[in-house]
């Protein structure tokens, strides 16, 4: 396929302007026809597409939210199921429905027993007529791996938030020279009723954190650790059960710290407004990461994307084929995971600097870019990526990419 496209491009480059105009009209017509008949799983302008044949239904059921729920909450919604396929379903629900990524659908199959299924909500549309309004949900099947992981994450977030409510029980170790900035941080933490200890060196701070079971370590001069390899090596002494927050002078100092195991970084300028929020984020992030199941290095995938449609398409196929996935929206979040991956899938829109950062962060890992155009895929491969997938991808294309990853392993 790749060779054929290259041949076509070579022919086009030799064509004159009149021929190119004629070819453009033909290609535009073919694209419109292909889009109209496209049955690949994906989302164009919010459309939830399922490749499998849909069966029309007219049955009532019950919806229960599985994620984004409060402890002990179980609110049921009456739903009207419109169609069903092996890959998902479409239903109508009351407009009071509170969005949740995962939901459980319960319904009676005609002539059969009660059916229960977990699905992921990928599209929500508001509908109305003279009789009232409702929400139409487009849902796709959710793998058991995804359900377990999201539920575990929510449990750990609730656990961390409960811990943060009683600040007097939270011991924070400040590591840094006895400067004006360090004193100001210590005063602020004491004012907020945290239990605080300050140490001038990393070795002393890490040892005390281990002995006293500290909840958080704050590197007051994080940039010094980022610039000095010997100080960065001291991070190996940090107790695993303790979260870490670093305060840095420059944005670029965050990345070596994330690689060394820091959970959250704040620039000196943002400290005044986001310091307390940064403490919570560091503790919650660390709690969730500590509870994550260990990855099988031969079947571990990282998806670095902000596009929900792409995330759904890639992760569903990966998990159904035995991969453990981690999804992040930014490179700095990816570096916090501190795991080895077989393959990294990353968005690419032509930003070569961003591509170089991802390549540098995962130099030994298979890197697959997710892009909207083939020419972007060529560009990425020419600049360090191992392969590419155009969106939305065919399952066969994903399978071919994964086979290549297994060969590397």
> Domain 163-291 is classified in which CATH homologous superfamily?
Response regulator (3.40.50.2300)
| Beta strand residue intervals within 130-239, DSSP E | 132-141, 171-175, 195-199, 216-219
Number of C-beta neighbours around residue 243 at 10 A = 25
Q: What is the pLDDT of residue 172?
A: 94
Q: What is the pLDDT of residue 78?
A: 93
Question: How far, in Å, are 79, 97, 262, 385 from residue 61 at the CA level?
Answer: 5, 14, 46, 46
SS3 308: helix
- CA–CA dist 350, 330 (Å, integer): 16
Q: What is the pLDDT of residue 35?
A: 43
| Beta strand residue intervals within 66-146, DSSP E | 76-85, 88-93, 102-108, 114-129, 132-141
DSSP per-residue string spanning 27-88 = HHHHHHHHHHH--SS--STT----SSPPEEEEEEEEEEE-SS--TT---EEEEEEEEEETTE
Into which CATH architecture does domain 55-142 fall?
Beta Barrel (2.40)
Residues of the chain under the 70 pLDDT cut: 1-7, 9-52, 71, 86, 110-111, 291-298, 308-309, 338, 405-409
- CA–CA dist 324, 194 (Å, integer): 37
Into which CATH architecture does domain 297-408 fall?
3-Layer(aba) Sandwich (3.40)
Give 42: exposed, middle or buried? Use CB within 10 Å, 0-12, 13-18, 19+.
Answer: middle
Q: What is the CA radius of gyration of the chain?
A: 25
* pTM of the complete model beyond 0.75: no
Tens of pLDDT, residue by residue over 197-218, are 999 988 899 999 999 999 999 9
Q: What is the pLDDT of residue 146?
A: 72
Residue 376: closest CA among 348, 357, 353, 354:
348
- CA–CA dist 149, 348 (Å, integer): 27
Given a contact cutoff of 8 angstroms between Cβ atoms, the answer to whether 245 and 282 are in contact is yes
Residue 404: closest CA among 378, 365, 377, 358:
365
Q: What is the pLDDT of residue 319?
A: 76
Which ranges in the chain are annotated with CATH 2.40.10.220? 55-142
Longest Cα–Cα distance of the chain, Å, equals 78
Number of C-beta neighbours around residue 148 at 10 A = 11
Give 158: exposed, middle or buried? Use CB within 10 Å, 0-12, 13-18, 19+.
Answer: middle
Which ranges in the chain are annotated with CATH 3.40.50.2300? 163-291, 297-408
DSSP 8-state assignment for residue 241? T
Q: What is the pLDDT of residue 409?
A: 39
Q: What is the pLDDT of residue 116?
A: 85
């Amino acid at each position: 396929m790749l060779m054929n496209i290259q041949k076509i491009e070579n022919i086009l480059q030799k064509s004159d302007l009149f021929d190119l105009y004629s070819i453009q009209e033909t290609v535009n017509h073919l694209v419109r026809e292909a889009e109209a008949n496209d049955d690949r799983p994906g989302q164009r302008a919010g459309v939830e597409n399922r490749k499998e044949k849909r069966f029309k239904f007219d049955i009532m059921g019950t919806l229960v939210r599985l994620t984004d729920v409060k402890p002990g909450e179980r609110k049921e919604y009456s739903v009207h199921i419109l169609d069903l396929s092996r890959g998902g379903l479409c239903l109508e629900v009351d407009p009071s429905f509170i969005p949740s990524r995962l939901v459980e659908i319960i319904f009676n199959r005609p002539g059969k027993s009660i059916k229960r299924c977990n699905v992921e909500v990928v599209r929500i549309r508001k509908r109305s007529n003279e009789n009232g309004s409702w929400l139409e949900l487009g849902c796709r099947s959710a793998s058991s791996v995804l359900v377990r992981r999201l539920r575990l994450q929510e449990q750990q977030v609730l656990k961390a938030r409960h811990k943060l409510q009683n600040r007097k029980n939270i011991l924070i170790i400040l590591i840094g020279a006895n400067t004006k900035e360090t004193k100001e941080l210590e005063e602020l933490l004491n004012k907020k009723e945290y239990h605080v200890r300050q140490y001038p060196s990393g070795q002393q701070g890490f040892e005390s954190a281990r002995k006293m079971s500290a909840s958080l370590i704050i590197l007051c001069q994080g940039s010094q650790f980022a610039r000095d390899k010997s100080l960065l090596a001291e991070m190996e002494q940090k107790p695993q059960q303790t979260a870490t927050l670093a305060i840095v002078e420059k944005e670029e100092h965050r990345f070596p710290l994330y690689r060394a195991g820091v959970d959250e970084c704040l620039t000196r300028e943002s400290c005044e407004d986001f310091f307390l929020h940064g403490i919570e984020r560091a503790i919650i992030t660390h709690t969730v990461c500590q509870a994550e199941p260990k990855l099988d290095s031969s079947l571990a995938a990282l998806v670095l994307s902000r596009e929900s449609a792409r995330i759904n398409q890639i992760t569903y196929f990966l998990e159904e084929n035995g991969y453990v996935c981690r999804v992040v929206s930014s490179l700095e979040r990816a570096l916090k995971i501190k795991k080895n991956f077989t393959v990294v899938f990353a968005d690419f829109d032509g930003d070569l600097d961003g591509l170089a950062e991802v390549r540098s962060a995962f130099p030994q890992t298979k890197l697959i870019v997710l892009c909207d155009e083939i020419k972007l895929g060529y560009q990425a491969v020419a600049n360090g990526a191992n392969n590419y997938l155009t969106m939305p991808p065919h399952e066969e294309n994903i399978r071919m990419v994964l086979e290549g990853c297994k060969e590397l392993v």
